[in-house]
Amino acid sequence: MSSRVLRKLQGDKDFPNKLVDEKNSDLDSDLENNGAKKKKPLNVNRFNLLTQQSHSESEVKEDDDHETEVSLDVREPMEEGHDASRRKKKKKRRKKVETKASRRSSEDNMEADDIYDLPLDPEMPESSQLPSMESASSINELLQVTRKSLNPNTELKKKFGSRIVEGERSKRRGRGYVKSSWLVSPRDNWPPATKIGISMKYIETKPPDNVFFSFVHSPVYQQVEHKFLDAVETFNPDNVVAVINSHPYHVDALIQLSDMCKLSEDLQMAAELNERALYCLECAFHANFNLARGNCRLDYKQQENRPFFITLFKHMMFVGQRSCYRTSLELCKLILSLDPEGDPMGVLLCLDFYALRSAKYSWFISLFDLWESTRNLSQLPNFAFSVAMAYFLLAQERGGDSDLTSSADHYLQEALIYFPGALMPLLEKCLVQVDPIISGHPFFTTVAMKDVRMSLQQLIQLYVHRNYHLWKDQTLLDWLVANALQVVTRFQIQDPVFNEAQSNRAKRYIELPRNLVRHFLLSDIKEVPGALPIDSQGAGMSFDPLPPLQSIDLYTRVERRSRAHDNSSVLSMFFRSALPNFNMNAPARNAGALDELRLILVHCESIALDHVATKAGAKDIY
């Protein structure tokens, strides 16, 4: 409580000394004073004190409450009726003042952990954090997210009702206070996230208002990381589990074990382990790391930052598997906002799917219009077809708008001309009996497969496998077939755009960029294998797949000491024997050549996870 306010209220400058004297007075004098006539308090308007400076708004509010209680004790009984009406008036006046100061007061009363939420409130932007006046022309504005939209429970409540969702959550409830979070809800069986050894620091601010941060590992955490890397080198899941048992919030170990559980088809455990890693990283956020604004950046080349990208991407995939497509779209936007120029996770290959699934057609078209001139999004098969579908579905929403329908037809025909190899696999996936005019036409058969590079085939396969469900609507199929027939007609009249498209397919798509290959690896779609790039020496592990070539590493995998084959695992020896320069009697020094097999080795040896779970019990990984 502010002593200055109390002194003014009591009219005594020596108020602290008076308190000491009162404490030292004996009981008899107190009883005598109680029988004496009360001294009339000074006529001070207590509510004017609220507008004066003090240590905090919350202290003024406490003073006001205290004054009301004291005044009730010192009043004469004969004034009770009159005072009751006065109290009602005071309550009304105080309520108005409290309404104005409610936001400041709630902030002052926060606990230390509650302050964690303060800078992330999208409704309370600082003047320097306000978005620019460029409206939709700003990529930061397009990539803004809200707290509710990042919570999959919000979407589940809309689909299944709040009673079912809250009922499931209440069964797991019973834990004390935990730090609130944006991305995941901590579970009851998780240990407290204290002294995790990870923090975040501010780096710099670059125009037009992009703020750069970086994660930082403490010396203790670095020691644990080295233990984990040693455990990974053994290719023994038991050793990874041991690291988690001793350090429950070691991020890379949680990611690694999550992948092992996924390969063992324990998707629920895999998602939970990834959520725990994400929660750990969120607890380390800088106070000004604002997820909502879309202007906070992380450098993917920095090794400590990469786990946040990877856990976010995996979380997006797990949430999408629960049909929470709007939440996955918001996570896509969040990942892209961390590095919109580099897009290290290749989220542009899946962003269209979640945007269409969540019916965010206008937003998707705005993003396409903003970046098409600088990033050639139409050269990606998924964007070429999806922007056409977005226009068509938006036209249907608006009652068959002719301009939107015309744009949809234009973009769809362009997509079919530039990527003719996508039509037949798409129709086959939708189990459609293809029109003979289309199936027998050379443009969609022989021409479509002529001079098509492997990288383009992979992009088309990824789009067809991920998006074919969207085309199963009969209205969309009829629209697709009608425009395919229009393309056949344009081909017969030798439209010049066909030669341009043919030249484009021959010159481009020489090799997939490293970030798109990383997307293939993390998506883990069996029907669409992702080929490693030529410069993939050091392909990394599943917790850090395909590190960037200009990686800034805090931890380096030192070349393993020479070891004879009798110290190697049998499974490792088996895969090494597939190498052309394998020598059974030579030590395994060729770490660079083995890097490309490391992911396969870890995936194969993770089959032993079932044995580990049976042996150690499920509680060991909590």
pLDDT tens, residue by residue, 224-239: 999 999 999 888 889 9
Partners of residue 297 on adjacent β-strands: 212
164-173, 185-194, 248-257, 287-296: segment of lowest average pLDDT: 164-173
Amino acid identity of residue 177, one-letter, is: Y
The mean pLDDT value for 194-212 works out to: 93
Domain ranges of the chain: 3-108
**Average pLDDT taken over every residue of the chain:** 75
**How confident is the model at residue 1, as a pLDDT?**
52
Q: Does 593 score more than 50 pLDDT?
A: no
| Segment 310-327, tens digit of pLDDT | 999 999 999 999 999 999
pLDDT band at 599 (very low <50, low <70, confident <90, very high): very low
Half-sphere exposure of 164 (CA within 13 A, CB side): 9
Neighbouring CB atoms inside 10 A of 227's CB total 17
| Segment 52-101, tens digit of pLDDT | 444 444 443 444 444 444 443 434 444 444 455 555 555 555 544 444 44
**How confident is the model at residue 605, as a pLDDT?**
45
619 compared with 515, residue with greater pLDDT: 515
37-51, 165-179, 296-310, 378-392: segment of lowest average pLDDT: 37-51
Specify burial of residue 160 (Cβ count, 10 A radius: 0-12, 13-18, 19+): exposed
The mean pLDDT value for 570-581 works out to: 50
pLDDT band at 133 (very low <50, low <70, confident <90, very high): very low
**How confident is the model at residue 69, as a pLDDT?**
43
Helix, strand, coil tally for the chain in percent (to 5): 65, 5, 35
Cα–Cα distances (Å) from 79 to 70, 75, 94, 150, 446, in that order, read 15, 7, 21, 56, 101
**How confident is the model at residue 172, as a pLDDT?**
54
- CA Rg, the chain, in Å? 32
**How confident is the model at residue 194, as a pLDDT?**
86
| Segment 403-443, tens digit of pLDDT | 999 999 999 999 999 999 999 999 999 998 888 999 889 99
Supply the DSSP string of 69-129, one letter for each residue: HHHHHHS-GGGHHHHHHHHHHHHHHHHHHHHHTHHHHHHHT--TTGGGGGGG-TTS--GGG
Specify burial of residue 608 (Cβ count, 10 A radius: 0-12, 13-18, 19+): middle
Q: Look at the pTM and tell me if it is higher than 0.75.
A: no
**How confident is the model at residue 534, as a pLDDT?**
55
Q: Helix/strand/coil (H, E, C) string of 310-378? A: HHHHHHHHHHHHCCCHHHHHHHHHHHHHHCCCCCCCCHHHCHHHHHHHCCCHHHHHHHHHHHHHHHCHH
178-192, 333-347, 455-469: segment of lowest average pLDDT: 178-192
Neighbouring CB atoms inside 10 A of 610's CB total 14
Two structure tokens written together for 547: 């590190």
Query: How far apart are alpha carbons 419 and 410 in whole angstroms?
Result: 14
Query: How far apart are alpha carbons 569 and 236 in whole angstroms?
Result: 9
Q: Does 607 score more than 60 pLDDT?
A: no
Two structure tokens written together for 505: 């397919």
**How confident is the model at residue 259, as a pLDDT?**
93
**How confident is the model at residue 225, as a pLDDT?**
95
Specify burial of residue 61 (Cβ count, 10 A radius: 0-12, 13-18, 19+): buried
**How confident is the model at residue 462, as a pLDDT?**
96
pLDDT band at 153 (very low <50, low <70, confident <90, very high): confident
Cα–Cα distances (Å) from 174 to 169, 178, 273, in that order, read 10, 11, 21
Cα–Cα distances (Å) from 596 to 533, 540, 569, in that order, read 11, 8, 17
Per-residue exposure over 269-308, b if at least 16 CB sit within 10 Å of its own CB, e if not: bbbbbbbbbbbbbbbbbbeebbbbbbbbbbbbbbbbbbbb
Q: Which residues contact 438 (CB under 8 A, 6 or more apart)?
A: 423, 444, 481, 484, 485, 488
Closest Cα partner for 477 from 157, 485, 111, 410? Answer: 485
Closest Cα partner for 107 from 60, 52, 58? Answer: 58
Q: Helix/strand/coil (H, E, C) string of 175-203? A: CCCCCCCCCCCCCCCCCCCCCCCEEEEEE
Cα–Cα distances (Å) from 488 to 242, 439, 443, 482, 494, in that order, read 62, 11, 8, 10, 10
**How confident is the model at residue 288, as a pLDDT?**
94
Q: Are 416 and 487 in contact (CB under 8 A)?
A: yes
Two structure tokens written together for 350: 């899946």
| Segment 262-295, tens digit of pLDDT | 999 999 999 999 999 999 999 999 999 999 989 9
**How confident is the model at residue 574, as a pLDDT?**
53
77-91, 155-169, 262-276, 334-348: segment of lowest average pLDDT: 77-91
Q: Which residues contact 224 (CB under 8 A, 6 or more apart)?
A: 197, 243, 247, 250
